[in-house]
Amino acid sequence: MLELRYYGDPVLRKAAVSVDKFDESLKEFVSGMIETMRTEDGVGLAAPQIGVSQRVVVIDASGGDQEPYILINPEIVYSSEEREDYEEGCLSIPGINLKVNRPSKVSVKAQNESGEYYIIENAEGLLARALQHEADHLNGILFIDHVSPVQRALLKGKLRKISERQRD
């Protein structure tokens, strides 16, 4: 299992770099990400959350009923105008769940671990939410950045404790 990084770690605020080498080490890395996501009971995991600033994401919105999506260099190519509020949490910000307003449908173009392109079209529900949440991670954006300054101010103490945990 790979080690999670928590709020306060600078890697979570950096834009990740594109992957250009599709080799056995990438496949092993992806496998480790899937194992970590499942062990931590997450819906998705982005490489920066384990300290690697690369554009790699794994998502399983099926609760383990299907193979997880592996998204290398993902790009949101469509977002619906219709939006919805839905509660989100994050493995890198444990113990905090907030309602976040996002587009209700998205389409994402990505590569698999062999470098082949594919598209997830008109994803909705938890999958759409996870795709957007994890894509944000690749750009140094956290879900708490989508809530009001007042909400963030109310979380200041909890966020400080998480940040201190990161340093320990």
- Count Cα neighbours of 87 within 13 Å in the Cβ-side half-sphere: 3
Query: What is the Cα–Cα distance from 79 to 128, expressed in whole angstroms?
Result: 9
Say which DSSP state 104 is in. Answer: S
Query: What is the Cα–Cα distance from 136 to 33, expressed in whole angstroms?
Result: 17
Q: How far is CA 157 from CA 10, 13, 154, in A?
A: 19, 19, 8
Residue of 75, 87, 134, 164 marked catalytic: 134
Element (DSSP H or E) covering residue 65: none
Q: Is the dihedral of CA 130, 131, 137, 141 positive or negative?
A: negative
User: Is there a catalytic annotation at residue 134?
Assistant: yes
Helix then strand then coil, % of the chain, to nearest 5: 35, 30, 35
Residues belonging to the active site? 134
